[in-house]
Amino acid sequence: MRDFSRDHSALALNTASLGHNLEGHGAGWTTERVIEACAARGFGAMVYWRREIGARAVEIGDRTRAAGMEVAGLCRTPFLVGPYAEGRSAVLEDLHASIDMAAELGAPVLTSVVGGVIPGSHSMSESLKRVGEILAEAAPHAAACGVRIALEPLNPVYGGDRSCLVTVRDAIDLCAAIGHPAMAIAIDVYHVWWDLSLAAELKRAGAGRIVGYHLCDWLAETRDVLLDRGMMGDGVADLKAIRRAVEGAGYDGFCEVEIFSAENWWKRDPGEVLDTIVERFRTVC
């Protein structure tokens, strides 16, 4: 397992951690200011959200690299199925657009939160099958753009509306069913911390299939399952054991801090948040 206690160059910031990707939250720093603040603190990479990028993908990618960091990923594909998904042709069009943006940004990874159970189907299996069909159509375009699509299994609490993909096991199976090298998976502490089969499942994934590792913590008495994530060390997740499982499966990429926290971290000064992230990354992750 890598030792981060004296080297945090593997640390990446997902900009959601500063809350500026939702209106009315966070300090409202510009992307340029966030880049500068992260570079000054020795972060190794950035992960952006589409809504922040607009038409400036090439510019923001270049700016990040000019500051000495990489762009580790882009969030994210549209919902592919479920109550929040649009019709199939609109979904495919937006999926292609998200792949194009990742390519322009120079992001090797595009995260996918696949959407919930298809209304009226009462079936996760059927919903996952549809997800697989849609991604199979888009995977060749992703490959041509040099982008890998990272399936992110979400905590089962989101199974109904945001993601019918809720376990690492199912994500690996879905990757296998699609059978395209552009397909990969991302592991997020918030979504997998409870899964004692994690290490065994990740070994099954095989080297090179994991392209993202997201850090935060699960607060014991969480107030909101969307916007009350904890800073690493403040919750109940066994962060070392989870990283051991991820690295044991061959992952040696960035560790991306992604903390949605409307009532706590998003209300603090971004400089303090970034300093805390660095300190916790070196000590408890």
Which stretches of the chain bind a copy of itself, using CB under 8 A?
A: 82-83, 116-117, 119, 121-125, 155-157, 159-161, 166-167, 169-170, 193-197, 218-222, 225, 235-239, 241
Would you say 169 or 282 has its CB closer to a copy of itself? Answer: 169
Task: Give the Cα separation of 203 and 214 in Å (integer).
Answer: 18
**CA contacts within 13 A on the Cβ side of 160:** 1
Give min distance, CB of 104 to a copy of itself, in A.
Answer: 34
Give min distance, CB of 84 to a copy of itself, in A.
Answer: 9
Would you say 31 or 163 has its CB closer to a copy of itself? Answer: 163
Would you say 193 or 266 has its CB closer to a copy of itself? Answer: 193
Backbone phi and psi for residue 74, each to the nearest 5 degrees, phi listed first: -130, 135
Give min distance, CB of 225 to a copy of itself, in A.
Answer: 6
Task: Give the Cα separation of 189 and 270 in Å (integer).
Answer: 22
Q: CB of 175 within 8 A of CB of 184?
A: yes
Give min distance, CB of 264 to a copy of itself, in A.
Answer: 16
Would you say 23 or 221 has its CB closer to a copy of itself? Answer: 221
**Helix (H) / strand (E) containing 277:** helix 270-284
Exposure letters 116-155 (e unless 16+ CB within 10 A, then b): bbbeeeeebeebbebbbebbeebbebbbebebbbbbbbbb
Would you say 233 or 250 has its CB closer to a copy of itself? Answer: 233
Give min distance, CB of 221 to a copy of itself, in A.
Answer: 5
